[in-house]
Amino acid sequence: MIPLSVPFLNGKEWEYVKDCLDTGWISSAGSYVNQFEQQVAVYAGAKYGIACMNGTVGLHIAQILSGVTSDDHVIAPNITFIATLNAIKYTGASPILIDVDPQNWQMDLNLLDKYLKENVVRKNINGEINAFHKVTNKRIKAIMPVHVLGNIGDMNYLQEIADLYHLDIIEDSTEALGSLFQGKHAGSFGKFGVFSFNGNKIISTGGGGVIVTNDEELAKKAKHLTTQAKVSTMEYIHDEIGYNYRLVNVLAAIGVAQMEEFPLLLDNKKRMDQYYRSNLEGVGDIEFQFVSSDVDANCWLFTFKTRHMKGLLEYLNGNGVQSRPFWVPMNQLEMFKNDIYITKLNNSNNIYKTCISIPSSAGITQAEMETVVKTIKAFYALL
Ligand SMILES: Cc1ncc(COP(=O)(O)O)c(C=O)c1O
């Protein structure tokens, strides 16, 4: 089976992990953690990086430090992996789900803009201006753009909206390490950006995440909160409810090795994307995700639209080509079905019903890509 997206471990992963084992530094302290944090922050063009167990907990911490509470709303796209929404719900806040653009599959900012104009009032409470929803009376505290599949929406427009309504931007950049918008790295636009290093990401630590920010105070607080909020190195004094969300040294060691290999892996992904685009163009009714000329995408997971998604999915998986459908839209899941969902044409549902992801590992070979394309063409030839 040609796998969907598996790690590529051809660098110094063994050497660095062995170093952890040889020295006994396998757990929550150790130099690889700091090194990994810095590598990711520098790469993303942010001042500070805070390693954590995974992207989901990183998003949770970012919500807490943005001051999101159970009385608030947080804006998020309706097409995302569930972790984005879970992180909002951990704080008790209520999501406002925004349908996505039918071309680039990112949050539809025109729809959001119009919705906020009609449904929000700004209030000055104790010198702090915030946007409040006219019907629920809840404060809208933050917006979470998700850089779906490593593509990026119009960050200038998003920033304009966030400024106008005093929203904190928390970027779910979990899929977007290596993606740029107008030359600026994903994750560096907002108050926080969060990256994931789980097994299917462009680089992996097995499981892991890094929160990035340019704010020193917030960076310190993020480190504090992810490490049980301990204030003294000696005594067990903790000054708030913290979390054991730290990334262990042995996983950070893998991360350091992976970051060293990252430029190569990113190149491979881009080559893969070009190969698929040029060889699948015009095949059946295949439609690609639109990537604007402002975006230099990391081409994380090759996904396209076809009305024959279900049949193709079955055919590929039955013929040695692992493929997957796209996420069920958030508004269709039981836990979120009573949350606000803003849409005109329900593009989310169309994307869900038609999108399919095909093998996209950074280490995919030319022969494997040829097999994938040949198998897809064979399917359409049967129709
Ligand atoms: C869009 C999105 N958000 C959040 C996450 C959560 O990251 P993690 O699996 O590291 O918790 C992922 C990846 O799994 C993701 O794809």
Q: What is the pLDDT of residues 150-194, one digit of tens each?
A: 999 999 999 999 999 999 999 999 999 999 999 999 999 999 999
Q: Are 69 and 111 in the same domain?
A: yes
For the segment 212-244, what is each residue's pLDDT rounded down to a tens digit?
A: 999 999 999 999 999 999 998 899 999 999 999
DSSP state of 306: -
Cα of 228 vs its chain's centroid, Å: 25
Q: Are 240 and 294 in the same domain?
A: no
Q: Is the CB of 198 under 6 A from ligand 1?
A: yes
Q: Are 115 and 135 in the same domain?
A: yes
Q: Are 184 and 39 in the same domain?
A: yes
Q: Is the CB of 146 under 6 A from ligand 1?
A: yes
pLDDT at 337: 96
pLDDT at 309: 98
Contacts of 168 (CB under 8 A, 6+ apart): 66, 67, 141, 142, 143, 162, 190, 191, 192
pLDDT at 28: 87
User: How many whole angstroms separate alpha carbon 140 and alpha carbon 146?
Assistant: 17
7 is a domain residue: no
The CA 207 to ligand 1 mean position distance, Å, reads: 10
User: How many whole angstroms separate alpha carbon 202 and alpha carbon 184?
Assistant: 18
Backbone torsions φ then ψ of 223, nearest 5 degrees = -65, -45
CATH number at residue 108: 3.40.640.10
Minimal CA–CA distance to 186: which of 169, 199, 200, 167?
A: 169
Q: Are 204 and 80 in the same domain?
A: yes
Q: Are 182 and 292 in the same domain?
A: no
Domain edge (last residue) among 215, 231, 259: 259
The CA 361 to ligand 1 mean position distance, Å, reads: 17
The CA 196 to ligand 1 mean position distance, Å, reads: 6
DSSP state of 8: -
Q: What ligand 1 atom has the least distance to the C-alpha of 80?
A: 1
User: How many whole angstroms separate alpha carbon 65 and alpha carbon 166?
Assistant: 15
Q: Are 134 and 274 in the same domain?
A: no
325 is a domain residue: yes
User: How many whole angstroms separate alpha carbon 374 and alpha carbon 2?
Assistant: 13
Neighbours of 21 (CB within 10 A): 12
Q: Are 28 and 161 in the same domain?
A: yes
> If you take atom 2 of ligand 1, which residue's CA is the nearest one?
81
The CA 189 to ligand 1 mean position distance, Å, reads: 19
Neighbours of 231 (CB within 10 A): 11
Minimal CA–CA distance to 187: which of 208, 223, 214?
A: 214
Averaged pLDDT of the chain: 97
3 is a domain residue: no
Q: What ligand 1 atom has the least distance to the C-alpha of 58?
A: 11
The CA 382 to ligand 1 mean position distance, Å, reads: 36
Domain that holds residue 267: 262-382
Q: Are 79 and 195 in the same domain?
A: yes
User: How many whole angstroms separate alpha carbon 283 and alpha carbon 347?
Assistant: 23
Q: Are 54 and 144 in the same domain?
A: yes
Domain edge (last residue) among 259, 292, 315: 259
- Give whole-number Cα distances, 76 to 68, 168, 294, in Å: 14, 12, 22
- Amino acid identity, residue 279? N
Secondary structure (3-state) at 192: strand
> If you take atom 7 of ligand 1, which residue's CA is the nearest one?
55
- Secondary structure E strands in 113-208: 120-125, 128-133, 139-143, 168-172, 180-181, 184-185, 192-196
Q: Are 216 and 346 in the same domain?
A: no
Q: Are 240 and 271 in the same domain?
A: no
Q: Is the CB of 172 under 6 A from ligand 1?
A: yes
6 is a domain residue: no
pLDDT at 310: 98
Q: Is the CB of 171 under 6 A from ligand 1?
A: no
Q: How far apart are the first and last CA of the chain?
A: 24
The CA 212 to ligand 1 mean position distance, Å, reads: 15
* Ligand 1 binding pocket mutation candidate from 82, 152, 174 (most atoms within 8 A of CB): 174
Give the residues of the chain that fall short of pLDDT 70.
Answer: none
Domain edge (last residue) among 238, 259, 280: 259
The CA 371 to ligand 1 mean position distance, Å, reads: 29
